[in-house]
Homo-oligomer: A and B are copies of this chain.
């Protein structure tokens, strides 16, 4: 697996029961996954020689993030190493411009959008899309709200162009909430679909996920699942695909983002589903039959733990574990920095209010924003 973040950490955890040998390419020996994996290579994934050396002896390569240059992936494939998801799929997660063009071509509903050439062109787009504000995104390199701007004027539109990366303009959708449809697809074409979840963002960062999305009409849930399965097939995705969606006031769903790897909106599956997204990602990448994606319980809530003022969150365990013996804590071994995702908690049960309160309490307590 290329990339030593928490997704690699949790994928390794899910791979242990399958008896597989997990090899990691990590930026540093301190990265989240590098702490818990035996076979770690420290190196730069942007360097083709490093990637090639790492890939030697691997049966298959997969990814913790979408930042490996597409041409490097093609080089690995030319060397005979299976890359899953492959570069032809992954380019859609790597480049938002390519993604939008492809979704248009296969008729998937998206916010209005086009590539804009400069701040003046962004103003022109705003006029076409019903006025400011509009969303500007660099087509590559963004995540967790980085590389995304809400722009209200030509002046504000200057910043996104400074990186020298093409800029995509999108209408600011008047959504009632955000949803995510998670699916996993194997090289043989088998695919499974998790229940559609509600994803609540704070400052552009995923904060809480409720599985399944409460009060989602069955028809809309079915549409979202079909959409995700269709995108996975049309784009040739292998492994986990997260489709982030807007639910609009008038009952439509529009595709916001794609991620081709285990995703924050699927963390609830570790404790709430028959088979976790990480286990199914491993199975897909190894071309093994996929596991049952259905929930084990009526409601599961995931809440992210962000870094707060406490450098050490161990003390928080004492309170949280004693308060809620069913709480599931997933920490990433990261140094605590304010606002950084350092872990998440899962809670589950039959009563959504109770399940949500327990997750919220634990996440807030571990962050240090509450003290009782």
Contact = CB atoms under 8 A, between A and B. Distances in A.
B36 A22 contact: yes
Interface stretch (A12-20, A74-82, A212-220): A12-20
A37 B36 CA distance: 6
A328 interface: yes
Given A290-B325, A325-B291, A21 B35 contact: yes
A289 B322 contact: yes
Contact of A38 (B16, B36, B332, B343): B36
A243 to B, nearest CB: 22
A322 to B, nearest CB: 4
Interface string A268-307: 0000001100000001000011111000110000000000
- Please report whether the interface of chain A is mostly helix, strand, loop or mixed according to DSSP: loop
A113 interface: no
A2 to B, nearest CB: 17
Contacts of A34: 38
A321 to B, nearest CB: 4
A326 B38 contact: no
A321 B38 contact: no
A100 interface: no
17 contacts: A9-B16, A16-B36, A17-B330, A18-B329, A19-B331, A19-B332, A22-B36, A36-B37, A37-B38, A38-B40, A274-B325, A275-B325, A289-B318, A291-B321, A291-B327, A292-B326, A296-B296
